[in-house]
Every structure is written in structure tokens, then in C-alpha cells.
Amino acid sequence: MSKKRIGILTSGGDCPGLNAVIRGAVKSAATAGMDVVGFIKGYEGLVDPVQYIPLNQKNTTGILNRGGTILGSTNKGRFAATVGVSDRLELDPELLAGVKTTFEQLSIEGLICVGGDGSLAVAQQFHEYGLPVVGVPKTIDNDLSATAFTFGFDSAVACATDALDRLHTTAASHERIMVLEVMGRHAGWIALYAGIAGGGDVILIPEIPWTFDDVCQKILRRDREGKRFTLVVVAEGAHLPKGGMVTKDRREEDRQVRLGGIGAVVASEIESRLQRDTRVMVLGHLQRGGPPTTFDRVLATQFGSNAVRLISEKRFGEMVCYSPPAFDSVPILEAVNVLRRVDPNGPAVQSARSLGISLGAHPEQTTSNEIYSAANDTAELENVADEFEAVV
């Protein structure tokens, strides 16, 4: 009797832990008596031309701590299923038919799709077409619904925290204001967690409105306390006070618009208003690269193992999820296009505020905008700051 054969692919942006998922799936499949094939460059490897490699314990040895993915990935192309947050693009029926042919020719009895909301939206369409698929959640932004954490997030936070540790010493030495821009398109989890862990003084995220006045008031308050430097952490998707996000280019047909540049905008505004030496650093893809943290290695390995279990139990159309301390599953449909965002009144935000971190004007406080309007001379920023301090 021939062994069952399953497939696995990694789709979307790379992140630490993808290889750990592959390794976990291969080792678990071997224990269950299954063969595994890995499709190259995500969904693109499934058809025209079909590109795959057999995976076994020998050629996946030593990849647990390696960043990236040995299978390659892509976040654009023929299999783009979403643009923006929730706009679904229907896949070409001929493309789906070609994927079905590949399944039949290779005798694939289940496919593990590792990806974020866009990639899993493709997996959902596969499921609706009748293809046997299961999902594994992947995104450094930690914004995928139905799971407490996604692998890659902890590694990205560790990278951003390390950057803040390094910026802290140079900021203190030169009495500078340092602005660190981190990833986070629609959710501010990386900025919030790294800001708390790295001793940030101001954290700007998409979920909480803020103003440049708020930021400047925090800096001036620190000055009066004898702290002549400030660390500002801003998520790339944080909305500007007047609305809108800072983007690098227009949106292409098969991918979302590229964000980036808000750090420079914030730094320029601070320097202009306060006449203070201000520098900006953009981490960018550093957050995606490098080896995964211990937490992400364990999480990703268990995701891979549990994905094989779902295939064994024929629970297709489901996504592995982490509900501490257990691993469970939910329908993929419940996980895609429902962003998990930071709760403005949640425990992490409350803790940050209690530590004195500024995240924007508190809804129950008199805002600096109100005080600026009441001031006779807004150019006298120090005097206005004193008034603000007395009110709050």
C-alpha cells in the first residue's frame, strides 16, 4: 500500500519561523507514515509550471533556526486574493482547475498553506473549490484573527526592542530625539510591544488617534524632568493627525500599497516645532530576517505538527490556531479578512499609559490642542507645556 502524500507551501512575505513550520510538518508526517512535497515560490509552484521538491528529514535537517523559507515565497502574482483589508479578488477558474490537476497528478491528499490573511484567503477559495487544504497563520504583524499569536511576531518585536536598546544609549549621550519606524500596516502590535519592552516614551499606532502636540508635550515634560532625550516608536500604518497614511507608491493591481515614511514625517515635525536634534531610523525588512526566537521556533514547530494532524483527521478548510495553552483549529473563513487590532482600552495600552508612555491624547484628559487654542502665544511652547502639566 502506497504512502499518503501531502504538500506544503509558504506564501506572502517571509518571516522568521517558516522553516520551523516546514520541519515540524515533515517530521510529524514521517511519524504518521506520510510523504511530503514542498511547492516552490508559494502558490505559483502549483501550476504552469509545477515546481516542487520532495521533503524529508534529511533535507530539512538544520533549518529550525534558519530565517526565510527553503521553499521560497511570493506575495504577488496570479494567486493574489485580497487587496487592502477586505476586498476579495476571485481566482481565475482555469487557474483553480490547473491546481486541481496538479493535486490529482501528484496524488496530493492534503495541502498545508502557510501564510497571512491574503494567502489564507487563497486557501479558502481552494477549499470552496473542493481542494483539501489546511492553513497555518503567519504574519509578523500579529493581526490575524482567531489565534493568540502568529509566529514571526515575537522575532520582529525582539528586533525592534534591540534597536531601541541601541538607540537609547546614543540618544542619551547626545540628548537627541530618536524616532524608530517599525512595521504594522493596520495593527500596532509590534510598535506597542517593542515600545514597552524597549523603554519607548511615545508610541504611535493605527488604533489610537494622536497629534503632534501630544508628542511635543511629552518631550517637553521629559525635558523638565531632566531627561533631555526621547524615544518615539511609530508603526508604519499609524494615521497622520489630519488623516491618511504615509505611502511610498501607488497600489499595484495585485498587491497592497507600500507603506513607509511616517517616521521621517514625525521627526521633521518635531524638529521644526521644538528646534531639537531629531533623528529617524527605519527598521524595514530587518524585522523579517534572521533566525526566529525560541518562542517562535516552538510555536511554528507546533503549528506544522498540528497542520499534519488536521490533514490526518480530514479537517480540511480549517486553520491551526493557538489558544494558550492549547492548539486548536478554526474555519479559515473565520480567520481571513478580520484583522486583530490593538484594543485602545486593552491591558497592554493601559499598562503603557500607567508607565507614563504617551500614545496620544487620553480621551478623559484635556488635550494639548485645547490648551494651544487657549494660549495667547502658541510660539511659547514651554509656557504652554507648563499649563498643560498643571491641568493633567
Predicted confidence at residue 379, as pLDDT, reads 36
* CA terminus-to-terminus distance, the chain: 75
Q: Which is the catalytic residue, given 14, 141, 143, 296?
A: 141
| pLDDT confidence band for 375 (50 / 70 / 90) | very low
Cβ-proximal residues to 45 (8 Å cutoff; 6+ apart), any chain: 9, 39, 51, 52, 71
Handedness of CA 315, 317, 320, 323 (dihedral sign): negative
For residue range 290-325, list pLDDT tens digits in order.
Answer: 899 999 999 999 999 999 999 999 999 999 999 899
Q: Is the pLDDT of residue 339 over 90?
A: no
Please give the DSSP secondary-structure letter assigned to residue 285: G
Q: Tens of pLDDT along 14-48?
A: 899 999 999 999 999 999 999 999 999 999 999 98
- Domains of the chain plus CATH, in order, are 4-152+292-335 (3.40.50.450), 156-288 (3.40.50.460)
Q: How confident is the model at residue 284 (pLDDT cuts 50, 70, 90)?
A: confident
Helix (H) or strand (E) holding 135: strand 133-137
Q: How confident is the model at residue 384 (pLDDT cuts 50, 70, 90)?
A: very low
Give the whole-angstrom CA distance, residue 280 versus residue 278. 7
Residue 38: its pLDDT value, please? 97
List b or e across 183-195, with b for residues whose CB sees 16 or more CB atoms inside 10 angstroms. Answer: bbbbbbbbbbbbb
Does 389 score more than 80 pLDDT?
no
- What is the per-residue pLDDT for 12? 86
Cα 268–chain centre separation: 26
The predicted structure's pLDDT at residue 391: 31
pLDDT given for residue 79 in this prediction:
81
Of 74-88, 209-223, 236-250, 284-298, the least confident: 74-88
Angle between helices 381-391 and 212-224 (to 10 degrees): 90
pLDDT at 137: 93
Has 214 been annotated as catalytic?
A: no
Report the alpha-carbon distance of residue 146 to residue 330 in Å, rounded. Answer: 7
Model confidence at 370, in pLDDT bands (50, 70, 90)? very low
Res. 243 pLDDT band, cuts 50 70 90: confident
Orientation angle between helical segments 294-312 and 153-174, nearest 10 degrees? 160
- Rounded CA separation 227/220 (Å): 9
* Beta-strand pair 202-204/230-235: parallel
